[in-house]
Structure 1
Amino acid sequence: MIHLGFLRFRVLIIFFIGIFFFLFIVGRALQLQMVPNQRLLELASRQYRAAITLFPKRGVIYDRNMNELAMSRKVGSIFANPKTIRNSKQMAQKLSHLTGISYSKIYSKLKSKKSFVWIDRLVNDSVTAKLTQHPLEGVGIIYEYQRFYNNQELAGQLLGMTGIDSQGIEGLEYGYDAILQGQKKSLALMRDARGRTISVDETQFLEAQEGNSLILSLDKSLQFFIERELENQVHKFQARRGLAIVQNSITGEILSLAQYPYFNPNEFKKYPESVWKNQAVTESVEPGSTFKVFLTALALEEGILPSEQFFCENGHFQVNSKDSIREAQKHKYGWLTLADVLKYSSNIGAAKVALQLGKIPFHRKILEFGFGNKTGIDVPGEASGIIRPFKTWEKIDVSNIAFGQGISVTPIQLISAMSAIANGGKLMRPFVVKKIIESETGEIKETEPQILRQVITQEVSQKLTAILMRVIEEDGTGYLAALDEYAVAGKTGTAQKPNLERGGYYPNKFLASFLGFTPADHKGEKFTILVLIDEPKKYYYASQVAAPLFKSVALHTLRLFPSRWVGGTEEDTVTREGFWSILRDPLAGRAGMVPKGLVPEGSESERERKFLAGKFDSVSRRVDQNPSQMPDLRGKSMREVLEFARQAGLILTVKGSGVAVEQSLKVGSALQAGQKCSVTFKTHSP
């Protein structure tokens, strides 16, 4: 009896234990079904979702007149899920025929055990269209943004380019990458129970915050003109390369920065990496006789009169027992005044001036002008140049540096230093980015001109300008840079190129340059221009090679910015400025618009004539100077909206890019200066 009772007790215990576990399992199951658990949800999500990182729309880069220089467009990228493809060989053949990629390369991707592989990214629209019309099993399309430079080679080295992941790798694209880039987003890939990709969720990607936009100080029309002229001059003299910069002497902003050979950022891989570099900031050169300008500035500051004379040794100066200096072109000058040393570009005269001043003041003034240090320009890769410590300078070093040998400077340093002379002695920080438009808030941040320091007095600036204007006279070295109606102050430079391997200088390799500003006799705005022609053949003197190009660039610059320095009525100002800021349409190809009647000489091709002359019959279109009612801005470009806001005195915020689709102020409402207005822009999807 006791044994039987014990067995029953054991059975009951086992029964109740079983009931307990059954109820626990049912309860746990109900908890999992009814009560959310974040950790489990995440684990489950990983089983049917994967993610790839893509970059949203990159900010636009505009010129000073809101012409687009760099933009982003939505294009397709092809991906595949190898796990869902039954016949990899057959699919590889189809995709190879569709994309042009080799069969073996695609087949190796399709043999992958992954559920997502890229087949080809940023493909041609025609490829996307074919795949959309004739879909393939296990193959899909993801739309992402591709950088596009609609002016092809225009300002290629300045703009730079981006890689396949929309990351800047050169130029402004690299330097302002963090600003231009949008917020990175993960694109969700939906998977089935086996981990196979079944769909793509693009919602989050398409809604990602796009990057901020840049408005440059660059003028598209001027840039095109200078690039064309620079190319012609390089070919004319069979030179190795050329460079030209135009800077606003007063503010420091760069209006044009051109170099040849140029390259197309859309196809940058077709060009050697050496062509990608912005030589104006990354490379340094021996400046030659243009450096005499800054020696003369010191001389005037130290009290040497322009009329003070220096004996130029009849063309041969024995500096010491082993070193001597000769004049270029075998000139045999006797006594020359300080002004004539600069006018006739006497090497011996410059050496005599430098030796009289002494190496310590000379070295100090060189540094004050910004040589040997970065200018602070907002372009990546800036070099400092090379100015050796004055303690290492011997007598021959002082003599050579006086006419630009034995030192190394960048083109941007040269033009900035000359702008200081044009600007009453104020050295300005050069800059290229004029404004930044924040995509999220629409706020516009403007770059303010920055004075670095006063390098010479106003009085010295005026005296030196007068001397530099004499260089352009008929018997001066820069006479071919003279303009008929406008005063030019400048200096030629013909520098022998150093042989960096063997030492010394090449006997037949030269760098021809011209550095000057205009209108030199104008108290207001001026333009500083630097022209460099590297290794010209046949003729190599700057007076023959560089000065004529300076003249062409200067004249065109003054024509493009007439209202800045030419007096006129208010209506005249509107006619000029209104045409340039509003009627200049962006065109496909390497150029911008210039008004009819201002076609540069030598514009012979039909493409250039159409482009340079423009498509307007007249410049009679006027802008309403005092708009009293709010118009409908929908459909207008950002350039047009910004111009209207400027004239109406509105405080404008902008969002997005493309054309205006929404405005905060009601159409027809009364306008008052100082009112705030928000305008939203959108780009039409393809």
Structure 2
Amino acid sequence: MSKKLVGLFILVVLALVGLALRITYINASDHQDYKRQVLNQTQQQYSSRVIPFKRGEIQDRNGTILAASEKVYNVILDCKIVNSKVKVKDKSAKIYLEPTVKALVEVLGLDEDDIRSRLEDDKTKNSQYQILKKQLSITDKKKFEDYLDLDNEENKSLSDKEKLMRQRVKGVWFEETYVRRYPMNSMASDLIGFTYDGITADWGIEGYYSSLLNGVNGRQFGYFNSDADVEQTIQDPINGKNVISTIDANIQQIIRDALESYENEMANGPNGTAAAKNVGVIAMNPNTGEILGMDSSDWYDLNNPRDLKPFYSAEEIAAMDDKAQLDALNKIWRNFCISDTFEPGSTVKPMTVAAALESGSISADDTYHCNGFKTVSGLKIKCAIYPNGHGTLSLGDSLKHSCNVAMMDIAEKMGAENFLRYQKIFNFGDYTGIDLPGEGSGILHTQQALGSTELATAAFGQGFTGTMIQEIAAFSSVINGGTYYKPHVVSSVTDSLGAVVENIDPVMVRKTISPEVSNEVRQYLGTVMDSDGSGAKAKVAGYSMGGKTGTAQKIPRTDKKYLVSFIGFAPLDHPQVALYVVVDEPNAAIQANSIYPQQIYKKIMKELLPYLNIFPADPSAVELPDKDSTTNKADGVVDENVPKPPEGETSAGNNNMLSGGVTNSDAEITNE
């Protein structure tokens, strides 16, 4: 037994000695071959990688793509592989270096000096992840792959030397990623918004619906088996959902054309180069709350949202620090139509009349007498035509001629409590809940602060602030039969294959007024468009429509800066579209002229109504030329809503104004 154990021990020792000798021999003679196999596996590390999801598309109501993610590739260089030495004819050499550099330069047009510096620098020469180029197109990627494909017809005629060179191209791989594209560039920029990095967004639809548009990354796990074959497991990414908006790209173009026409006419006027400080337009379906179009005057390219050159000179940009640049960009990116608050002026008069009728404070048969002003708590509050007066007016005529005295009488009959209650019913002072980020809410007087003077001026849109979206939503409820709908810009959500996963139906928030009151006010608003009405210049020949002008004087009043507006709808009896236009500080010597928003409104409606298949009630009506234009030559034309104080008379100041707000030019307040 002892001899057998000794013999077994000797055999084990001899086996270990033999194994050690074999390892020593392999290390001395063939270690490069084995090292190459290990390096080849390392080279294929990209087979264990993240597979990015595709962010969903944003489409208009007709399927036009407004935002989409396009697959592109980052060119990655594995410097360690390219620099690895391989035994060739008893010598070690970097056989992958020159072929790889040549391919990258000749096929992809990359910078040879940049590539070589990465391969030679001590900090990067062993790096396995160097990004040589970002956002390579799929076309260029295919060109590189064809270059390496020796079975390709074009490569069959290559010499053996050239084929060997291409076989030695190593360490280059392509990392999938996506880049966000906006095919319509600046169209509806405020409404669509943009992404910072392809998946992160704060503005517009991109920001509000970002979590829906984003998906979940996948992953690819890969390795080489013993036969050097690739084995892999793939967990597919989940692509983001698509958002179908309520807006119409064609309506957006109609709005843009009208705004560009205004810009061309009004630019380089007496107040600078811009046509106005801000211009905003909202088109809405009053029966659903759907936004059909929305635009404002600061148009930026969604594909290059950080470009300040269209808005500032090179000297101005150079003088900006990081904070100043960010402030400038935020000003450009914000959506004026939902974010900015201002005193709306006389466009709220339809709500004042509707609230008084609904509450029973007045009747349709009431009349009002205007001698040019009304004295409230010792203050003389003037009408627009002071020192003249409107005389005796019916309720309808008080809207037709935009009489402030009549509105003050109506508010007095309502009382502060009732008036404030209906302001809240019409949703002033609160968010509408529109599905866009950055909405403003405005400020209302509290009941304690709503004294007789504040009540009088609030009746014609002074002393409180709101947004464009608040105004058009409230106005729509007045003309649609009395239903307040939540404004919204998205109608449905689909999956990556186009199947609908969610419909976003109109949301009825509340009833504001009765259908009878709605019909009454609608008829009054129709008279505003008569030839002797305050909105005559907005009338499109042959169509039945209604509307209301607004002129608001901004604080400080001595600066004589105004915000002018027009809100209207068509057809008169069955409204299908409401349109609101605001021009903030028009570039004119006399800003207080509602002709500016009226003519923008008219230009839009002339194209919009036929597009919506709304046809003239009187096809034989002839379009009369406007006596006045929106050019600076029209500065002598004074809006009937603009106050005309007598020579030498001064206003009493802003004792009843909200600090920092604007005041309505339809009234002048003086000490009695």
Task: Give me the TM-score of the superposition, normalised by structure 1.
Answer: 0.67
Aligned residue in 1 for 2:322? none
1:191 Cα deviation (Å)? 10
Aligned residue in 2 for 1:78? 75
Helix, strand or coil: the match of 1:371?
A: coil
Helix, strand or coil: the match of 2:289?
A: coil
Aligned residue in 1 for 2:388? 332
1:403 Cα deviation (Å)? 1.9
Aligned residue in 1 for 2:182? 149
Pick the aligned partner of 2:210 from 164, 177, 182.
Answer: 177
Tell me if 1:558 matches 2:609. yes
Distance in 1 (CA, whole Å) between partners of 2:404 and 2:120 is 67
Paired residues for 1:210-609 under 5 Å: 210-237=239-266, 238-271=275-308, 272-303=329-360, 304-312=362-370, 314-321=371-378, 323-328=379-384, 330=386, 332-333=388-389, 334-439=391-496, 442-498=499-555, 504-505=556-557, 507-522=559-574, 526-538=576-588, 539-562=590-613
On the 8 A contact 2:345/2:551 being kept in 1, the answer is yes
Which stretches in structure 1 are left out of the alignment for 5+ residues? Answer: 23-43, 193-197, 499-503, 568-600, 602-686
1:551 Cα deviation (Å)? 2.0
1:201 Cα deviation (Å)? 10
Helix, strand or coil: the match of 1:275?
A: helix
Aligned length: 526
Aligned residue in 1 for 2:318? none
On the 8 A contact 1:243/1:532 being kept in 2, the answer is yes
Question: Amino acid of the residue matched to residue 265 of structure 2?
Answer: K
Helix, strand or coil: the match of 2:469?
A: helix
Partner deviation per Cα, 1:124-172 (whole Å, 9 max, x = no partner): 6786577665997544322322221112222121111123343334211
- Flag the 1:114–1:507 CA change in 2: closer, same or farther, 3 A: same
Question: Amino acid of the residue matched to residue 207 of structure 2?
Answer: Y
On the 8 A contact 1:494/1:540 being kept in 2, the answer is no
Question: Amino acid of the residue matched to residue 261 of structure 2?
Answer: N
On the 8 A contact 1:487/1:518 being kept in 2, the answer is yes
Partner deviation per Cα, 1:174-220 (whole Å, 9 max, x = no partner): 2111222222223568799xxxxx99999948x53322222222111
On the 8 A contact 2:338/2:439 being kept in 1, the answer is yes
Aligned residue in 2 for 1:59? 56
Partner deviation per Cα, 1:523-554 (whole Å, 9 max, x = no partner): xx521111111210225345311112212222
On the 8 A contact 2:525/2:547 being kept in 1, the answer is yes
Aligned residue in 2 for 1:121? 134
Question: Amino acid of the residue matched to residue 309 of structure 1?
Answer: T
Distance in 2 (CA, whole Å) between partners of 1:550 and 1:220 is 18
Q: In terms of mean alpha carbon deviation, does 428-437 or 103-112 score higher? A: 103-112
1:402 Cα deviation (Å)? 1.8
Helix, strand or coil: the match of 2:594?
A: helix
Partner deviation per Cα, 1:207-245 (whole Å, 9 max, x = no partner): 533222222221111111111111221342321231111
1:278 Cα deviation (Å)? 2.2
Paired residues for 1:667-682 under 5 Å: none
Distance in 2 (CA, whole Å) between partners of 1:188 and 1:202 is 5
1:351 Cα deviation (Å)? 2.6
Question: Amino acid of the residue matched to residue 308 of structure 1?
Answer: D
- Flag the 1:131–1:562 CA change in 2: closer, same or farther, 3 A: same
Higher relative contact order (CA 8 A, sep 6+): 2
On the 8 A contact 1:371/1:387 being kept in 2, the answer is yes
- Flag the 1:293–1:441 CA change in 2: closer, same or farther, 3 A: closer
Aligned residue in 1 for 2:637? none
Q: In terms of mean alpha carbon deviation, does 451-460 or 210-219 score higher? A: 210-219
- Flag the 1:301–1:72 CA change in 2: closer, same or farther, 3 A: same
- Flag the 1:251–1:48 CA change in 2: closer, same or farther, 3 A: closer
Question: Amino acid of the residue matched to residue 131 of structure 2?
Answer: W
On the 8 A contact 2:285/2:576 being kept in 1, the answer is yes
On the 8 A contact 2:101/2:112 being kept in 1, the answer is no
On the 8 A contact 2:68/2:180 being kept in 1, the answer is yes
1:255 Cα deviation (Å)? 1.1
- Flag the 1:425–1:130 CA change in 2: closer, same or farther, 3 A: same
Distance in 1 (CA, whole Å) between partners of 2:412 and 2:188 is 42
Helix, strand or coil: the match of 2:586?
A: coil
On the 8 A contact 1:58/1:72 being kept in 2, the answer is yes
- Flag the 1:53–1:363 CA change in 2: closer, same or farther, 3 A: farther
Aligned residue in 2 for 1:580? none
On the 8 A contact 2:78/2:129 being kept in 1, the answer is yes
Task: Give me the TM-score of the superposition, normalised by structure 2.
Answer: 0.68
- Flag the 1:47–1:221 CA change in 2: closer, same or farther, 3 A: closer
- Flag the 1:225–1:441 CA change in 2: closer, same or farther, 3 A: closer
- Flag the 1:66–1:50 CA change in 2: closer, same or farther, 3 A: closer
Percent of aligned pairs with the same residue?
Answer: 29
Helix, strand or coil: the match of 2:562?
A: strand
On the 8 A contact 1:231/1:261 being kept in 2, the answer is no
On the 8 A contact 1:48/1:191 being kept in 2, the answer is no
- Flag the 1:187–1:277 CA change in 2: closer, same or farther, 3 A: farther
Distance in 2 (CA, whole Å) between partners of 1:335 and 1:156 is 48
Aligned residue in 2 for 1:166? 199
1:48 Cα deviation (Å)? 5.3
On the 8 A contact 1:516/1:530 being kept in 2, the answer is yes
The CA RMSD measured in Å over matched residues stands at: 4.3
On the 8 A contact 2:343/2:461 being kept in 1, the answer is yes
Partner deviation per Cα, 1:426-464 (whole Å, 9 max, x = no partner): 111112111211236824532222211110111111111
1:283 Cα deviation (Å)? 2.2
Q: In terms of mean alpha carbon deviation, does 302-311 or 464-473 score higher? A: 302-311
Aligned residue in 2 for 1:208? 237
Question: Amino acid of the residue matched to residue 240 of structure 1?
Answer: K
Question: Amino acid of the residue matched to residue 276 of structure 2?
Answer: A
Which stretches in structure 2 are left out of the alignment for 5+ residues? Answer: 17-40, 84-93, 149-165, 267-274, 309-328, 619-625, 627-672
- Flag the 1:566–1:125 CA change in 2: closer, same or farther, 3 A: farther
On the 8 A contact 2:351/2:478 being kept in 1, the answer is no
On the 8 A contact 1:106/1:119 being kept in 2, the answer is no
On the 8 A contact 1:217/1:254 being kept in 2, the answer is yes
Partner deviation per Cα, 1:250-295 (whole Å, 9 max, x = no partner): 1111111122221221111214332222222222222111111211
Q: In terms of mean alpha carbon deviation, does 126-135 or 338-347 score higher? A: 126-135
- Flag the 1:526–1:105 CA change in 2: closer, same or farther, 3 A: farther
